Structure 1
C-alpha cells in the first residue's frame, strides 16, 4: 500500500491506558526534564560567566551540555504529550524530525567526548606544548568537525528512511528511532544496512578507537610519572572517563538492542529507551560539578558573587524603571 509521508500515522503502543499511572509518570518525567534543563543550563552559565573556565576543556564541556539540552528536548516533550493523551500517535514526518535531533544529540555528544579525550591526551602527555597545540583556532576547528560531521551525515539517513514504504504502523518504544522505523518497512533494503554500517563506523567506532588510543597513551605516561602527577591525571581524566564509559554503554546497548530481532520484555524495552536519554544529560553536569575542582570553585565563587546572584533582580529592576 502506498502512503504519502503526510498521511502516515504511527501509533506508540507501549504507553498503555492506565490514566492515574500515566499521570504519575508524567509528573516524574517533567521533573526529570526540568532538572536536566536546569543542570545543563547552570553548567553553561558557570562556564560562560567565569573567564577562568574559558579553556578548551570547558568549552568542549559547554558544547556537551548544549547537546544534552537538544537530546532532552527532542524526547521528553513528546513522551509527556503521549502520557496525557488518550491516543498515543504521531505523524511520520514528526517521527523523522525526532530521529534527526536524537541522532544528532547522540553522535555530536560522542564526537565531543572524543575531542575532550584528545584534549586530555595533549594536556597530560605534552604539557609544555599544550598551548601551542590547543590554540583557539584548533579548538573551534575540532568543535566544528564534532558538529558538522553528524549534521551532514544524518540528513542522508533521514532521507533514506523517509523513502520507506511501511507495512506496519505500531512502535514498541517511547519515542521514534531510525532502526525501529526500518523494521516497520515492507522491504528490507541492503542500502539501509550499508549506510547504517558506514554511519556507525564514522560516528561511533572511530571515535571509540580514538578515545581508547588517547587513554592508552595517557596511562603509559602516567605509570612513569610521580604519585602526585598520577593523582592529578586521575582527577583530571576521571569525570571525562566516567562520562564516556556511561555514554558508550548506552549507545552500544541501544545499537545492539535495535539490531536484535528477538522479543524483549516491555519493562526492559522501556528501561533501555529511558536510559539513553535520562542518564547522560542528567549525570554529565553532576559528574563534572562534583569531580572537577575548577568547576566547584567557579560555582562557589559565582554563587557568592553579587553580580551573579542579583543578575536577574537587577535586570527586573531596570525593566521596571524603564516602564515607568
Structure 2
C-alpha cells in the first residue's frame, strides 16, 4: 500500500518516496508542480522543484523566486526511489499530470486536467503503463455537468460577440486571467475585431506566445479606448471599476459553473457559456473505465460520493483521497 498524505488544502506528499505533488512543506526532497494556477503552486519548498517550462514561467510571473528545473513531457527522471514522468493534462498551457513509478506501485496524479483538452494547450496524454493509484480531481462531480463540443462552445463565444455588437454594446467576457482568458483569445483569434484583456491576464499571454501558441491580435486593457472592443477580465474586475465608463455592455460568464442557470442572477450577466478548463462528469467516469486503476482517489471536489457511487457500480474501487490518506 503506497502511503499518501493529503497536506491540508495545499498539496500531496508521498512520504516513503520523498516526493511532493503541488506540495508546500519541508518533507519532500523532490517537488513536482502540475500547473501555474495559484492554488497548485507551492508557497514554501525545501527540496528540488520540477515543472514544465510554461509552468516555470507562470511561477516566476506570480512571484515565486525559488529555483525550478524545467521538465519536458514524456521524459522520465530518476529520484531516489522512483521514476517520474510528466504527461500533458489539457487544462492550461504547461499543465502536467505526474506519473510516479515505484516498487510501492505506480501513481498518476492529475492536478487539474481536461479531456478533450483545451485547444490552447499541448493536448492530453495518458501513460501506457498500468496505473495502480489514480489521484483525480472532481471539480464538476455531478451528472448535470456535461460540456458541449469545442466547436459549439466557440460558436457560442463568437455568436455572443456578434449579438452584442449588433446591439451597439461592448461585449465583456468574465474569465480567469490564466487559462480561460487565453482560451477565449484563441477561440476568437480569427474574429476580426479589436480585443483587450485585463492587464494581469495580458502579462500571462506572453508565455503562450513564447511557447508558439498564437492568440491572434489583442492588446492590454485601456479604460479610455475600451468601449466597443471585445473585453476579457476576471469577475472581480467589474466591481473594481473595469470598463465602468462604458455606456452599454453585454456580459458573458465563461466557466463550467455556468451550466447552472442560477449563476445568471447571482452575477447579473446576459449570457452563460459553460466553457470549462476541467473535464466534465461523464469524461471523468469514462476515463476511469478506460484506465482501470487498482484504486481511484478523489480530491478537489465539493462531494466525492456521487463519483464514488458511479465508479463502484462499474466495479472500480474508489474512495476520497482524504479517507485513503487517513487509512494509510
Identify the TM-score tier after normalising by the shorter chain: under 0.3
**TM-score, structure 2 normalization:** 0.22
Is the radius of gyration larger for structure 1 or structure 2? Answer: 1
